[in-house]
Amino acid sequence: MHLMRIGAPGSEKPVARIDDQTYVDLSDVVTDFDEAFFGSDGLDRVRPVVADRTAAGQVSRFAGERIGAPIARPHQILCIGLNYRDHAAETGQAVPDEPILFTKSPNTLIGPNDDVRIPRGSTKPDWEVELGVVIGKRTSYLDSPAEAGDAIAGYLVVNDVSERAFQIERGGQWSKGKSAETFNPAGPWLVTPDEIDDVLALDMWLDVNGVRRQTGNTKTMIFDPHFIVHYLSQFLVLEPGDLINTGTPPGVGMGHTPQIWLQPGDVVELGIQGLGAQRQHVLAPR
């Protein structure tokens, strides 16, 4: 399934995408794609509904509605840093022996085509196309990465927008360079694992103003999604609907010579094979 939320911010309705033109409305079946939905076997409940309504022709046509993030605001957004060898090299940092963990504020989550706003005092705003993982059930102390598959509800595209001066030059943890408003565009849809042949064979790309800046593939991850979920479960409880951003391939603005930073008026476009694409306009600080 491809799960989406469409409508104005704060009033999105849950739907299942059938193709680029049509969807099945699920708002009479579930309230939202949130912690309660994922934690109560929501995917299993809506799957036959989607199949039955599609077979019966009970579908609606997209009519230019805004696309929201495909999940409601999660309990937490967890991020893995330096998870591609060539990205670690471009930043001048060593390849980590264990996943590097940091967090983003959950209120950074926005729709895939919503505007990204540069924060006040920013001098080095940057981009990062990433594979996002959504947790499907309450999870802790998994015995092995093989068990992680049962805990994953699906995958999506995310842009881990970053402010490098805040992140690197201001001391402390990375989170303050990651948690400005609008810094986590997500979607356009959540794709369930059964729809993906190999999550470690997905092409990734990102353009700024029509110029290709990032090209990568999930096969070059250091730590794959199943390992990451297993690893994190040893340190904290993962809740249904939690989002994990799994790292970015090379080509971020910080890695260019000379470095390139987002500017007001820029247009960022990005996507991952089979998971859809995003497009954001960059706005000046408030």
pLDDT of residue 202: 98
- Say what the pTM is: 0.96
pLDDT of residue 37: 98
pLDDT of residue 285: 97
pLDDT digits (tens, 9 = 90+) for 123-171: 999 999 999 999 999 999 999 999 999 999 999 999 999 999 999 998 8
**Which residue type, as a one-letter code, is found at position 261?**
W
pLDDT of residue 85: 80
Domains of the chain by start residue, with CATH = 2-67 (no CATH), 71-283 (3.90.850.10)
pLDDT of residue 82: 87
Q: How many residues does the chain have?
A: 286
Structure tokens that stand for 76 in this block: 């937490």
Element (H, E) at 230: helix 225-233
Eight-state DSSP code of residue 228 = H
* Parts of the chain with a pLDDT under 50: none
**Which residue type, as a one-letter code, is found at position 117?**
R
The beta-strand segments (E) located in 201-264 are: 203-208, 211-217, 243-245
The Cα 15–Cα 10 span in angstroms is: 15
pLDDT of residue 173: 81
pLDDT digits (tens, 9 = 90+) for 118-136: 999 999 999 999 999 999 9
Phi-psi region at 247: left, alpha or beta (left = phi > 0; alpha = psi -120 to 50): left
pLDDT of residue 183: 98
The beta-strand segments (E) located in the chain are: 2-6, 13-17, 22-25, 60-61, 67-68, 77-81, 100-104, 109-110, 116-117, 125-126, 129-135, 152-159, 162-163, 184-185, 190-191, 203-208, 211-217, 243-245, 267-272, 276-283
